[in-house]
Amino acid sequence: MKIAVVGTGYVGLVTGTCLAETGNQVICVDINEKKVKMMQDGQLPIYEPGLELLFHRNIKQERLHFTSNLAEAIAEAKIIFLALPTPPGGDGSADLSYVLGAAKDIAKLITDYKVIVTKSTVPVGTADKVTAVMNANTTIEFAVVSNPEFLREGVAVEDFMKPDRVVVGTKDERARKLMAELYAPYVRQGNPVIFMDERSSELTKYAANSFLATKISFMNEIANLCELVGADVDMVRRGIGADNRIGKRFLFSGIGYGGSCFPKDVQALAKSSEENKYNFRILNSVMEVNEIQKKVLVEKVKKYYKGDIKGKKFAMWGLAFKPETDDIREAPALYIIDELLAAGAEVSAFDPEAMKNVEALFGDKIKYAADQYEAIDGADALLIVTEWSLFRTPDFDQMDSLLKEKVIFDGRNLYDLDKMIDCGYYYNSIGRKEIK
Ligand code: UDX
C-alpha cells in the first residue's frame, strides 16, 4: 500500500519505518528541510533501540522515502498519517494548529479518495474538526480516521510491530477495510484491531495513559505510606500484582512519571473534562501526587544533611525520564538538578544517552562524567534517578573507593536491602526501610 506520513518526529518516524518494514511504500514529509536532507542521507535524527536497523534496511530497499514537499508526498498515497505535534497550549489543552493546518493543505492538494489518519494524541472531537476543515477546502471524497499510538519510548519498534491492540476510530466503511488490511501483518498473533467511532477512539488514548498514570500515582502514595507504617512497597506490589485483576505491570513506585505523554495527556484529559463541565476528581489527585513525588528524593537528601547541602557534591546516575531513551522531557532529573543547585550543591551526572540533552539545558552548571564511576569520584552521595540496566549491578568495591561517604539515595529501588546492609551503606529508597 502507498502511505504518506506527515511529520517526522518520534511517532512519525517509528510509524513510517515500521509500515515500510511490512512492504508498504512509505514517504515521510517534514517542513524541516535540514532534517529531511539528513534522513535522505541515511541519518536517523532520534535514538530508539532497534529503529536504526529498520530505517536503513527500508531506505536501502527503497520502501522508505523522505521529502519536504507535501504535494509530492501525498500524490500517490492512499492513506495519509498525521503525526504532528499537539503541544499543550497555555491553558493545558492541546494546540491543534499543526494538525488542522496540515488538514487544510492536504485538502487543497488531493485529487482522489484519501484516508486521513490522526496518529497524534488529539482531544475528543478532533476528527470532526479535521473533517470540517477538509470539507471547507475540497469537494473530493475522503475519510478521517482516529488511530492513536500506544508506543513506549525505548520499545517503540516492538510495540508497533507487535501491538497489544490497534484502535481504529472511523465510520467510513472503505477506510475501515483499508486500515484492517494495513494492520493485518502486525496482529497475526491474534491481538485485536478494535474498530469504533472516532470520539471513542480519541478518548481511548487519553483514558489508557491516564489510567496508567493513576496506577503510578497510587503506588507512589502506597510507597509513602509504607515508609510511615514500616511496610515494604516491593512486597505490597508483589502481593497485589499477583491478582490478575490488578496485574503485575506498571506498579513500580519511584520519583514520579515523566516523559512526553503522561504529564501532557493527564493534564489534557482533566482540562477537557473541565470544558465539558465534569470534575474528574481522580485526575487532579494523580497530577498533585506526581508533583509531590518528584520532590521526594531531594527531600530525603535535605533531611539527611539536616537542611544544609551547600558545597556538597552529589553524583546522579540517570537523567532521562526512563531507561533506553535520551528523552528528558518532564524528567524528574531536571527538577532534582534545579533543587540541588539552588541549595548550593554541586552535581556530577552520568546517563548513557541523555547527557547531550541535559547539557543543552544546564550548560556548565553541572559536571558530565564519562561513565558512572567517574560521576561518583569524590562525591558525598549518589542519587539514582533513572533505572538503566547498567546501574543495577555496579561494582560496589570500586564505588567504595570513589565515594567520599557510603551514601545512596535511590529513586528507583534498584538494590536489595540486605545487600546494602552487607555492603555497609546508608541507603534510602522509595517506600522501603531506611538502611543506616
Ligand atoms: C507512555 C505509554 O506507555 C504509551 O502507551 C504512550 O503511547 C506514550 O506514553 P512512555 O512515555 O514512553 O509511554 O513511557 P512509559 O514506559 O509508559 O513510562 C512513563 C513514565 O512512567 C516514566 O516516567 C516511568 O518512569 C514511569 N513509570 C512507569 C513508573 O514510575 N512506574 C511504573 O511502574 C511504570
Alpha helices in 87-151, H assignment, sequence order = 97-109, 126-137
Name the residue of 47, 151, 152 to mutate for ligand 1: max ligand atoms within 8 A of Cβ: 152
Is residue 18 part of the annotated active site? The answer reads no
How far apart are the CA of 152 and the centre of ligand 1, in A?
7
Domain limits, the chain: 2-196, 197-436
**Residue 91: predicted pLDDT:** 75
Q: Treating both helix axes as pointing N-terminal to C-terminal, what angle do 262-275 and 281-304 enclose, rounded to 10 degrees?
A: 140
Give, using CA atoms, the residue closest to atom 3 of ligand 1.
152
Give, using CA atoms, the residue closest to atom 27 of ligand 1.
257
* Burial of 308 (C-beta count, 10 Å sphere; 0-12/13-18/19+): exposed
Q: Which atom of ligand 1 is nearest to the CA of 256?
A: 30
What's the grid cell of residue 189?
498473533
**Residue 27: predicted pLDDT:** 98
**Residue 120: predicted pLDDT:** 87
How far apart are the CA of 423 and the centre of ligand 1, in A?
32
Q: How far apart are CA 4 and CA 75, in angstroms?
A: 9
Q: Which atom of ligand 1 is nearest to the CA of 257?
A: 23
**Residue 76: predicted pLDDT:** 95
CB atoms within 10 A of CB 184: 11
Q: Which candidate in 18, 28, 226, 261 is catalytic?
A: 261
- Say which residues have a Cβ less than 8 Å from residue 269's Cβ, sequence separation at least 6: 206, 207, 210, 280, 283
Mean pLDDT by 10 residues, the chain (436 residues): 96 97 98 97 92 97 98 97 88 86 98 96 94 98 97 94 97 97 96 97 97 98 98 98 97 96 92 94 98 96 97 98 93 97 98 96 98 98 97 95 97 97 97 97
Contact present, 160 and 152 (Cβ < 8 Å): no
Q: How far apart are CA 315 and CA 106, in angstroms?
A: 50
Query: CATH code for 2-196?
Result: 3.40.50.720
For residues 45-68, one letter each, b for 16 or more C-beta atoms within 10 angstroms of the residue's C-beta and e for the rest, the string is: ebbbebbbebbeebbeeebbbbbb
* Burial of 319 (C-beta count, 10 Å sphere; 0-12/13-18/19+): buried
**Residue 92: predicted pLDDT:** 67
The ipTM is 0.92
Q: Which atom of ligand 1 is nearest to the CA of 249?
A: 33
Residue owning grid cell 547539557 = 359
Name the residue of 14, 158, 257, 260 to mutate for ligand 1: max ligand atoms within 8 A of Cβ: 257
Q: Which atom of ligand 1 is nearest to the CA of 387?
A: 25
**Residue 86: predicted pLDDT:** 87
Residue owning grid cell 519498534 = 157
**Residue 62: predicted pLDDT:** 97
Q: Which atom of ligand 1 is nearest to the CA of 331?
A: 23
Cα angle for residues 197, 201, 204 (degrees, 5° grid): 140
Query: Which overall architecture, per CATH, does domain 197-436 show?
Result: 3-Layer(aba) Sandwich (3.40)
Residues with CB under 6 A from ligand 1: 149-153, 209, 212, 216, 250-252, 254, 257-259, 261-262, 321-322
Describe the strand order of the beta sheet including 193-196 as a list of residue ranges: 64-67, 25-29, 2-6, 79-82, 114-118, 142-146, 166-169, 193-196
User: How much is the pTM?
Assistant: 0.93
How far apart are the CA of 37 and the centre of ligand 1, in A?
32
**Residue 87: predicted pLDDT:** 84
How far apart are the CA of 386 and the centre of ligand 1, in A?
12
Give, using CA atoms, the residue closest to atom 1 of ligand 1.
152
Cα distances from 222 to residues 239, 289, 413, in angstroms, run: 13, 11, 14
Name the residue of 46, 212, 253, 289 to mutate for ligand 1: max ligand atoms within 8 A of Cβ: 212
CB atoms within 10 A of CB 334: 20
**Which one-letter DSSP state was computed for residue 152?**
P
Domains 2-196 and 197-436 share a fold: yes
Alpha helices in 276-366, H assignment, sequence order = 281-304, 332-342, 355-362
Cα angle for residues 170, 171, 175 (degrees, 5° grid): 65
